[in-house]
Structure 1
Amino acid sequence: MNCKEAIRLMSEEMDRDLDGGNRFALRLHKLICVGCRNYQKQLSFIRQACQQQVAVDDAPPTTPDLNPPQRL
């Protein structure tokens, strides 16, 4: 397996389960290829960051406190 194929499979793996042969080949490739291991870490980080941003965007807006505490 070359890096181009590994990258394609990493992207597919985020959307669906890979079949046994592709899953094994991808794991084997990542054992020997530091570039693809790093790429998968970055891909996972970006996906997680996007999911967190969507969660923040979907949260109901907060209203500011219109009556701040009064000083005595």
Structure 2
Amino acid sequence: MMNCKEAIRLMSEEMDRDLAGSDRFALRLHKLICVGCRNYHKQLTFLRQACQQPLAADDITPPPPI
């Protein structure tokens, strides 16, 4: 079973490249079980979206409340 440290590393890598099938499956399984990593992934996705947007803050939708 994947631990949170490994899941965080894979989530970061996933932002830059496609993961291998086994890594993608293991990460998906871990996020189904781990609420903390699920929330971290939402926050990471939000930050990436915010950094790619122009400075108009009205266009950025925050992640849903936890």
Q: Which segments of 5 or more consecutive residues in structure 1 lack a partner in the other structure?
A: 57-72
Q: Which segments of 5 or more consecutive residues in structure 2 lack a partner in the other structure?
A: 56-66
| Residue identity in the other structure for 2:34 | C
Runs of 4+ residues over 6 Å off in structure 1: none
TM-score relative to the length of structure 1: 0.73
Partner Cα separation in structure 2 for residue 44 and residue 16 of structure 1: 14
Matched residue, 1:39: 40
Cα shift readout 1:19-71 (whole Å, capped 9, x = no counterpart): 00000000000000000000000000000000004xx5xxxxxxxxxxxxxxx
Aligned residues: 54
CA RMSD of aligned residues (A): 0.8
TM-score relative to the length of structure 2: 0.79
- Identity within the alignment, %: 85
